[in-house]
Amino acid sequence: MASQSQFEVVPTGAALGADITGLDLAAAIDAASFGRLSRAWGDHLVLRFRDQSLDEAALIEFSARFGVLDAAPRRPVNVPNHPTRSEINIVSNIIENGTPIGGLGNAELVWHQDMSYKDLPPKASLLYAIETPVTGGDTHFYNLYSAYETLPPELRARIETLLCKHDATRNSAGQLRAGFDADYANNQRPGAVHPLVVRHPDTGRKSLYLGRRPNAWVVGLADADSDQLLDALWAHVEAGSLNWAQHWRPGDLVIWDNRCTLHRRGTLDPAQRRLMYRTQVRGGHAAGGSD
Ligand code: OGA
Ligand code: MN
């Protein structure tokens, strides 16, 4: 058997992302190899491992190499959690006996960073594909270091010390999570406050930190001024080509860094089944700190 330490890092050639080839994630990975993997993750922000065969325990075990796992996020009503593994977030459009077996359905997802409405958002998310559609459901990733570096200088200076409130009430498909009201005033909204510019604790690089656009609020600004500033930042994101799209195959495992990337999903055809398991790794630090 080939040595696990011989894996290769093959960059996508886009603004972020690399394939790791020659590594079996269900088998043991020694500390030196894991160190190399961590450095590749720091360099490329998103890593893809194809042709994996992971059961729930193996997915959790590999995910936990990156840190303590967080529980899956709070669901909308009528979407059950994984029956036995609180760390696994089932993402699926499959409906069994009239009940969705997982979250996010067939909707197109807005650009977002996972669970940034928490004070300590997960630093990493891992998404493992079990059943995938032939077409649709691609996941797009976006490089927020580069977005920060390419901001017009006046805009970059303006946001340097500003804080943003990240809304906890809706998921990335816009669905209301159980237990929240449909509407809140900006200064009453459940969520967490983070700087708009953060410094990555491992790479030392500065990054935009946007969360998601719906219901975001730049703390202290009048609603209209906040909307104008956030619209300018998101227009910069939308205008850029700092992204890479993942077209899923069964057995793909992708890990992304929530501190310096956004992601979103295209729509799904309800007739094509898609079943994914996600885990999330707790951040070991506050997301903030622009210096
Ligand atoms: C997620 C997510 C995207 C997808 O699980 O956090 O955004 O492609 N999923 O399902
Ligand atoms: Mn997500």
> For the segment 261-285, what is each residue's pLDDT rounded down to a tens digit?
999 999 999 999 999 999 999 996 5
Atom of ligand 1 nearest to the CA of 265: 8
Nearest CA to ligand 1 atom 7: 264
Q: Which ligand is nearest to the Cα of residue 104, counting in written order? A: 1
Residue whose tokens read 């998404």: 127
Ligand 1, CB cutoff 6 Å, lining residues: 91, 104, 109, 114, 125, 127, 139, 172, 263, 265, 276, 278
Cβ pair 59, 279 in contact under 8 A? yes
User: Which ligand has the shortest distance to the CA of 245?
Assistant: 1
Q: Is residue 288's pLDDT more than 90?
A: no
The structural architecture, per CATH, of the domain 8-282 is 4-Layer Sandwich (3.60)
Question: Domain residue spans in the chain?
Answer: 8-282
Mean pLDDT of 224-250: 97
Candidate from 172, 212, 243, 247 with most ligand 1 atoms within 8 A of CB, to mutate: 172
Structure confidence at residue 226 (pLDDT): 98
Model's pTM, two decimal places? 0.95
The rounded Å distance from CA 25 to ligand 2 centre is 22
Residue 36 pLDDT > 70, yes or no? Answer: yes
Q: For 91-149, how does the pLDDT look when each residue is reduced to its tens digit (9 = 90+)?
A: 999 999 999 999 999 999 999 999 999 999 999 999 999 999 999 999 999 999 999 99
Q: What residues have their beta carbon closer than 5 A to ion ligand 2?
A: 114
What is d(CA 90, CA 71) in angstroms, rounded to the nearest whole number? 12
